[in-house]
Amino acid sequence: MKLYSYFRSSAAYRVRIALNLKNIDHELVTVNLLKSEQQSDEYLAKNPQGLLPALETEQGVLAQSLAILEWLEETHPETPLLTGDAWQKAQIRNLCYAVACDIHPIDNLRVLKYLANDLGVDEEAKTTWYKHWVEVGFQSIEKLLDEANTFCVGNKPTLADVCLVPQVFNALRFKVDMTKYPKIAAVYEQCNKLDAFIDAAPQNQPDAI
């Protein structure tokens, strides 16, 4: 498999973690979002959606990080990341979407670019925007976590951790005060003791600058 990735892409970071947790051998192909390489003809031929990540498999190219995560789960059930009965799976997915639908899309690079370039929003207001959506989202997620658990759901990493950790990484870049979210901060710390998370971190990617 080939993963098309950019070191700071939060969605690519999710897939990097899952591939590592599942020990799936893969090649990393870097695509520079800042240089808009995801809009190049070469990349669009792979992923017409023009977004990261994409996973090239024997069957073809898969897009959308969450679709990739669910597909990996179905085709590589070893080290399951979506565990338990239907109810627990719903709790795991609830947390995934609380990040992947309610926070990340609004704070994505392309949205921040639109704010600056098309609406003339200055750097300070852009940072306020970024923090606002992270904080609203983290307030919800903090309520959903149980401090008796080591990870988001239970005592092993699940897709919820796979989605949450990249969002916390980004929040820290934007200097969000994580002391307000002790349960999220504890999960983040716990995950980052594991090689699968460490090796997937932006600063440990070949294209890190």
Near its own copies by CB under 8 A: residue from 24, 28, 106, 201: 106
Q: Tell me if 134 contacts its own copies by CB under 8 A.
A: no
Identify which of residues 40 and 94 has a Cβ nearer to its own copies in the complex: 94
Q: How far is the CB of 49 from its own copies (least distance, A)?
A: 4
Q: Tell me if 104 contacts its own copies by CB under 8 A.
A: yes
**Candidates 2-10, 139-147, 163-171, 187-195 — which segment interacts with its own copies by CB under 8 A?**
139-147
CA Rg value for the chain = 17
Q: Tell me if 131 contacts its own copies by CB under 8 A.
A: no
Q: Tell me if 24 contacts its own copies by CB under 8 A.
A: no
Near its own copies by CB under 8 A: residue from 27, 42, 59, 78: 59
Q: Using alpha carbons, select from 35, 28, 34, 37 the residue that is nearest to residue 5.
A: 28
Give yes or no for a contact between 47 and 6, defined as CB atoms under 8 angstroms apart. no
In the range 25-54, which residues lie near its own copies by CB under 8 A?
48-51
Q: Is 58 exposed, middle or buried (0-12, 13-18, 19+ CB in 10 A)?
A: exposed
Give yes or no for a contact between 15 and 53, defined as CB atoms under 8 angstroms apart. yes
Give yes or no for a contact between 21 and 157, defined as CB atoms under 8 angstroms apart. yes
Residue 30 pairs in a beta bridge with: 5
Q: Tell me if 101 contacts its own copies by CB under 8 A.
A: yes
Identify which of residues 103 and 187 has a Cβ nearer to its own copies in the complex: 103
User: What Å distances lie between residue 204 and 46, 118, 123, CA to CA?
Assistant: 25, 33, 27
Q: Using alpha carbons, select from 2, 10, 3 the residue that is nearest to residue 173.
A: 10
Q: How far is the CB of 203 from its own copies (least distance, A)?
A: 25
**Candidates 27-35, 64-72, 170-178, 179-187 — which segment interacts with its own copies by CB under 8 A?**
64-72
Near its own copies by CB under 8 A: residue from 15, 52, 100, 164: 100
Alpha helices (H) along the chain: 10-21, 41-46, 65-75, 86-100, 104-107, 109-119, 123-144, 159-173, 182-191, 195-200
Q: Tell me if 132 contacts its own copies by CB under 8 A.
A: yes
- For residue 4, the Cα-to-chain-centroid distance in whole angstroms is 14
- Residue numbers of the site for its own copies (CB under 8 A)? 48-51, 59-60, 62-64, 66-68, 70-71, 74-75, 86-87, 89-91, 93-94, 96-98, 100-102, 104-106, 111, 114-115, 118-119, 121, 125, 128-129, 132, 140, 143-144
